[in-house]
Structure 1
Amino acid sequence: MTSKPTVAILGPGGIGGLLAALLSRAGHRVVCLAREGTAEVLRRDGIQVRSGQFGDFGAAVEADTELREPVDVCLITVKHTTLDAALTRVPPAVLGDALVVPLLNGVEHPASLRTRYVPELVAPATIRVESTRVQGGDGEGVVIEHGSPFTEVDLAGAATVRPRLDALASALTGAGVTARVVDDETAALWAKMAFLAPFALLTTRYGVPIGEVRTRCRAELEALVAETAEVARACGAPADPAGSLARYDLFPAAAKSSMQRDAEAGRALELDAIGGALLRAAERHAVAVPVAARLVKELGGAGA
C-alpha cells in the first residue's frame, strides 16, 4: 500500500462521508459507492462537512454504483440493516487483494464478511465519533454534520496484513483522524460494543440524548454497563465499566446514538446487530443480562 492509498468507501453516510471528505482533502483518491441518485450528486457537488474539530469544508470525490477497478482498501460504512444489499456493490473478483475494513456496529459481522472476501484481508475497525448525514441524494447535496470533538479509529487484523494496516492508520492520521492498529480484534470489537450498547439502547428506548440518560436513567445506565462488561469478559475481552461511565459523562449532553437518530427518522434499527448480538453472546456464556433483555424486548426485538 502506498503512502496515498486509493480508498473505496461503501456507504457515504455520516461516518463514510466524513472519512471520504477527510481523506480526499488530504490528497487521497476516494471512490464512494452508493445508489445512483447519491452517486450522481457526489460526482457533481462532492461532500460538504460542518465540523467543530475539522472546520467547515468541501471535498471532491469520485462516485459509482459499484466498484469497477481494484483499490488499496475498501471501508464498509453502511448500516447492518442494509449490509447484504450494499455488498453487491463490491464484487470480490473486482476487489482483488484490497483490505476490507468494516466500521460497523456489533461484533458478528467479521465472520460473515470472511465468507465473502479473502478472510485474512478482512480487518475490522471501530470508530468513535458522532457524525450524521443531514442531506443527501436525489437532488440534494451531501452534507455531513460532525458533532463530537473527536474522531478515533482502531484497526485490527491478521499479522500478515499488519504493514498495510499501519499504512492505513498513517493515512487516516494524516487526514486528521486519531488512528491506531491494535493487536486483539475481539478486544477492539467488544470495547466498542460495551460502550455502544448501553448508549444506543437507552437513548433509543427513552428518546432522549445522552445527557438526560446519564442523569435521569443513571441507575439503569450503570446496570447495563455492568451487564455488557460481564459479557465482554466472558467473550475474552477486557472490560472497563468505570471507564465507560466516565466517557459517557464527557460526551456532549445533546449527543444522540445513531440508533436513536434512525428511530426518529423512521428508519430500520440496528437492534439485532447491537442488542440481539449482545443477548446471543450472553446466552452462549450463560451471563444474566436482565436490563439488556428488557430493553431489547421493549424496542421490538423480542426473540432477537
Structure 2
Amino acid sequence: MCKETRGLTWLSVSRNHRCEGRQPVPLPPATPARGRNGAGRVPTRKPERNLVHDDNAAAVIPSPAKVAVLGPGGVGGLLAALLSRAGHRVICIASEETANTLRSTGIQVRSGQFGGFTAEVEADTALREPVDLCLVTVKHTALGSALERVPAEHLTDGLALPLLNGIEHVDALRARFGARRVVPAVIRVESTRTSPGVIEHGSPFTEIDLAGSPSRLAPLAALLTAAGTKTRVLPGEDAVLWAKLAFLAPFALLTTRYRLPIGGIRSERREELTALVEETTAVSRACGAPMDAAQVLARYDAFPAGSKSSMQRDAEAGRPLELDAIGGALLRAATQHGVPTPLAQKLVSELTPHAATGV
C-alpha cells in the first residue's frame, strides 16, 4: 500500500487509496477457539453490529475495557502498562517465558513522561476470550506466526489496532479480522523492552494518530488519551500513513546502513539525508498524500543527536530487520507510480544481505 527496540518508532496500518505494489503478507487462517483444556470448536461468526452499515457510528468500547496486547515489547509493553494503570483489564499475549514473567512481576515502566510504576497484567500464550480491543505490536517479521495466537472470533465485536512498521500488512489483517475491525493508526514514541516485563520509555511524548471517522473513533481516542497518550483522529488516511513512512524510511535506512545515530547522519551524510527525503516525499505525493521535504528535514534537525532508529537497534542486536516492510514497501510504491528512487534502491540493496541476521 500507497516496535521492542529503542529508537523513534512510527507504526501504522492502512486502508483506502493504497499503492498496490505487492500482495499482502500471507497470514494464517482464522483458528478455532480453544479452551484451556485444548478442546477445539469451530465457531459461528456472529454478524457485526450496526457499525458495519454506518461509517460514522461510534465504535462502542466499554469502560473499563478488556484489552489484549499481542507483543508486549517496547511499544506494546508501555501501552499495556498505561492501560492497566488506567483501570482496564489487560491481557498480554506472548511467549511462555514472557507470559510467566508478566504474570509474576507485572510490567515495570521507567519513564520521564509517566514516572516509574509497575502495572499488573494478565498474560497468556494465546487469546482465549473475546476482547474489546486488541493492540497488535509485534515486529512485522513475526506477524504471521503471532496472529495464530489471536483467533478471529475473539474480535467479532472488538477493534484491532495494529501498530507495526510498514504499510502493506493491513489488507491481510482486514481479511482475517474483518474490514470494520481494523483501525488505521501510527504511533510516535521511543520505548525499549530491556528484558521481559521491563520497559524504558525515553521520549517525552507518546502520540497516536488514528485515521478514520472522528465520530466513529472518538471512544477509542478517548480511551487512549485517558491512559496518558496524546491521541487524535484524522480523516486523511494516506496523509497519516505517509507522514510516517516519509520520515521513517530515511531514518531507518541511513542510520542502519551507516551505523550512526541521527546526529551523525545530519553531520556526515547530510546530502544523502536530503536526497532520500526528497525521494520518499515524491513517492508520498504520487500516492495521494502531499508531503513537504523541508518539514520532514526539520523534524530530523529537532531530534536529539543520539537518537537511533528501531531498525538500527535490531541490527546492533543481531535481530532480523524490517527492511522489506519499510524500504521494500517504499520501492514497490515508487515502481508502481514511476517515481525514481535511486538512493533508496542503493541502500536497500546494500542492507539486503543483512536483513535476516542484522549483522
TM-score bracket, normalised by the shorter chain, equals: over 0.9
2:323 to 271, 286, 292: 271
Runs of 4+ in structure 1 deviating by more than 4 angstroms, as ranges, are none
1:214 alignment counterpart: 266
2:117 and 2:292 mapped to 1: Cα distance?
37
| TM-score where L is the length of structure 1 | 0.94
Q: Does 1:35 align with 2:92?
A: no
2:348 alignment counterpart: 296
1:165 alignment counterpart: 217
The CA RMSD measured in Å over matched residues stands at 1.5
Could you tell me the percent identity over the aligned residues?
Answer: 66
Give unpaired runs (5+ residues) of structure 2. 1-60, 355-359
Stretch deviating more after TM superposition (236-245 or 39-48): 236-245
- Over 3 Å counting, the alpha-carbon distance change for 1:131 and 1:73 in structure 2 is same
**Contact kept? 1:33, 1:67, Cα under 8 Å:** yes
Give unpaired runs (5+ residues) of structure 1. 137-141
Higher relative contact order (CA 8 A, sep 6+): 2
**Contact kept? 2:109, 2:117, Cα under 8 Å:** yes
**Contact kept? 1:21, 1:61, Cα under 8 Å:** yes
2:187 and 2:156 mapped to 1: Cα distance?
25
Please give the residue correspondences for 1:164-243 in structure 2 after superposition, counting only pairs within 5 Å.
Answer: 165-243=217-295
Task: Pick the structure with more helix per residue.
Answer: 1
Question: What is the CA-CA distance between 1:94 and the residue it aligns to?
Answer: 2.3
**Contact kept? 1:69, 1:95, Cα under 8 Å:** no
1:254 alignment counterpart: 306
Q: SS where residue 176 of structure 2 aligns?
A: coil
Question: What is the CA-CA distance between 1:185 and the residue it aligns to?
Answer: 1.8
2:129 and 2:242 mapped to 1: Cα distance?
34
Stretch deviating more after TM superposition (266-275 or 217-226): 217-226
| TM-score where L is the length of structure 2 | 0.80
1:163 and 1:113 mapped to 2: Cα distance?
23
**Contact kept? 1:46, 1:59, Cα under 8 Å:** yes
2:134 to 66, 74, 86: 74
1:57 and 1:210 mapped to 2: Cα distance?
30
1:252 and 1:63 mapped to 2: Cα distance?
35
- 1:68-89: per-residue Cα shift (whole Å, max 9, x none)? 1111111100000000000001
Question: What is the CA-CA distance between 1:3 and the residue it aligns to?
Answer: 3.5
Larger CA Rg, structure 1 vs 2: 2
Q: Does 1:93 align with 2:145?
A: no
- 1:245-294: per-residue Cα shift (whole Å, max 9, x none)? 11111222111111011101100000000000000000000000011110
Question: What is the CA-CA distance between 1:230 and the residue it aligns to?
Answer: 0.4
Q: Does 1:156 align with 2:211?
A: yes
2:56 alignment counterpart: none
